[in-house]
């Protein structure tokens, strides 16, 4: 009898272990958890300060369903949020002093209870950006599923004149704005968010010098040393660095503004100037260059030597129908590169030239000839 009872008990233990392993039903309880997160760090233009958004949240998260290792997927939590606050803050790089500049109203999920898969305290996004006038624009977004999927945002502008003023911002239920932190760089330094657990909370802000290789933690929570006992890894810096991307954007912005002022000083209108700027930025390599077509007027001696299968005669009425816009511009301005649409020319019910030319170009040819208004032109397609 005791042996049979022992077998039953042993079998039950094995069954429970298997059930837990495959994740049929796993229930867990955690106490109150508190997290600090730091988002969107940027240098001030003079490098004296680092501005960032801080989040402090506390609450409980109980696992009510876990699909387990075999089935995969994130566990489902029963979450209760006690406190959830965001604030705009800045760090004095020299002294290490941190001060709060703007306090946002309690977030939309503070005091709420809900179920969430994987993302216990919902995912925040933030961006900071300095304007040409030295104002700091900020935006914080919280995407929630409480009780249905919705976006809340809080945004505004901070200036030095508001220093020491008690300022707060409320939340609005609206589509979140998108933005880019344009100043996480200063000189050779770049700022990084040091992510911890859970991964939507950062445990610190780290500065990295691209010349000396120095890694300097600027802001740390209590979880930073636990997450990075050996320090913030260089591999992670190399994988997440946005230096080249940001410097390119800054160069485009600066060059575009210089060109705009140049063309406006020559009396160009806004639209005409913008079109010229796009061409200039393509020429300078900031924008990808389009495929172009260029015409060269041939002499009579050259015309006699061309391949007649590559010659396409276009009547004045056919050109006037608008089906060859790039060719029309090219023959009007020989030597000038004109944007070429690689999708092919439109066909016309009354003419066959565009259809024949499309068939010719589909073979990969990049040169052909056009006879128009008594002149013959060599047309060359230039790919970027």
Are 125 and 140 spatial neighbours (Cβ–Cβ below 8 Å)? Answer: yes
In 3D space, the residue among 368, 371, 372 whose CA is nearest the CA of residue 359 turns out to be 368
Model pLDDT, residue 2: 45
Are 107 and 98 spatial neighbours (Cβ–Cβ below 8 Å)? Answer: no
**Domain range summary for the chain, segments of one domain joined by +:** 22-230, 249-283, 292-382
Model pLDDT, residue 351: 93
Calculate ∠ Cα 352-353-356, nearest 5°: 90
The residues of the chain scoring below 50 in pLDDT are 1-29
Cα–Cα distance for residue pair 231/233, rounded to 1 Å: 6
How confident is the model over 121-143, as pLDDT tens digits?
888 889 999 887 888 999 999 88
Model pLDDT, residue 275: 87
Cα–Cα distance for residue pair 352/100, rounded to 1 Å: 72
Half-sphere CA count of 22, side-chain side, radius 13 A: 6
Looking at the whole model, is its pTM more than 0.95?
A: no
CA 216 to chain centre: 26
How confident is the model over 179-206, as pLDDT tens digits?
666 679 999 999 999 988 665 678 999 9
């Amino acid at each position: 009898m005791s042996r049979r009872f022992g077998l039953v008990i042993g079998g039950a233990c094995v069954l429970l272990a298997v059930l837990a392993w495959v994740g049929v039903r796993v229930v867990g309880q955690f106490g109150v958890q508190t997290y600090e997160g730091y988002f969107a760090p940027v240098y001030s233009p003079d490098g004296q300060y680092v501005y960032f958004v801080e989040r402090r949240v506390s609450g409980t998260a109980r696992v009510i369903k876990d699909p387990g290792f075999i089935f995969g997927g994130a566990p489902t939590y029963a979450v209760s949020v006690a406190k959830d606050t965001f604030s705009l803050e800045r760090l004095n790089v020299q002294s290490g002093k941190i001060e709060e500049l703007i306090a946002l109203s309690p977030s939309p999920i503070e005091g709420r209870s809900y179920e969430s898969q994987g993302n216990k305290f919902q995912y925040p996004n933030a961006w900071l950006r300095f304007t040409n006038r030295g104002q700091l624009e900020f935006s914080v977004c919280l995407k929630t599923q409480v009780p249905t999927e919705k976006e809340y945002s809080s945004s505004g502008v901070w200036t030095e004149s508001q220093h020491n003023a008690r300022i707060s911002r409320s939340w609005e239920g609206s589509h979140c704005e998108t933005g880019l932190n344009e100043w996480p760089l200063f000189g050779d330094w770049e700022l990084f968010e040091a992510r911890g657990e859970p991964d939507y909370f950062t445990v610190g802000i780290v500065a990295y010098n691209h010349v000396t290789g120095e890694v300097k933690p600027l802001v740390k929570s209590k979880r930073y040393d636990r997450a990075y006992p050996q320090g913030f890894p260089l591999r992670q810096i190399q994988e997440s660095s946005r230096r080249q991307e940001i410097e390119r954007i800054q160069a485009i912005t600066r060059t575009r503004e210089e060109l705009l002022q140049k063309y406006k000083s020559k009396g160009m209108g806004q639209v005409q100037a913008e079109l010229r700027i796009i061409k200039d930025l393509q020429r300078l390599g900031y924008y990808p260059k389009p495929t172009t077509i260029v015409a060269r007027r041939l002499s009579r001696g050259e015309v006699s030597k061309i391949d007649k299968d590559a010659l396409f005669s276009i009547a004045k009425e056919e050109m006037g129908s608008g089906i060859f816009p790039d060719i029309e511009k090219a023959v009007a301005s020989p030597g000038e590169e004109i944007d070429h649409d690689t999708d092919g020319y439109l066909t016309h019910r009354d003419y066959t030239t565009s259809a024949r030319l499309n068939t010719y170009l589909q073979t990969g040819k990049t040169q052909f000839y056009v006879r128009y208004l008594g002149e013959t032109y060599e047309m060359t397609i230039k790919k970027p």
